[in-house]
Amino acid sequence: MLGAMTMNVIITFFLMIVVILVGSIASYPHIAVVPMVIVGMSIAIGWPFLFYPASYTLWAAVDLLMRPLDDAELADAVAHADPAWKASHGLAVDA
């Protein structure tokens, strides 16, 4: 959970920095502060809610890349996903 939240915070901050940089470059020499603050605040408030489910999926992918499943975990995952596999290996099939 902490990893997913951290990914969400990092990506939100990255988007806010992009808005500030693009807004500053686009409106130079008279930098439009108010529109950048409005867009930045909308990103800071809205993006974490929109990105919340995807952050868990991305963190699960990163976690699997850092810690691949061993053979016992993989067999357990297959057994839970496929009842026919359980029956063919002589294991009790859940009703």
Query: Each residue of 2-30: pLDDT tens digit?
Result: 888 998 999 999 999 999 999 999 988 88
Q: What is the pTM of this model?
A: 0.64
Q: What mean pLDDT do residues 21-49 have?
A: 91
Query: Each residue of 55-86: pLDDT tens digit?
Result: 989 888 998 899 888 888 887 777 777 777 66
Answer whether 92's CB lies under 8 Å from 86's CB.
yes
pLDDT for 85:
66
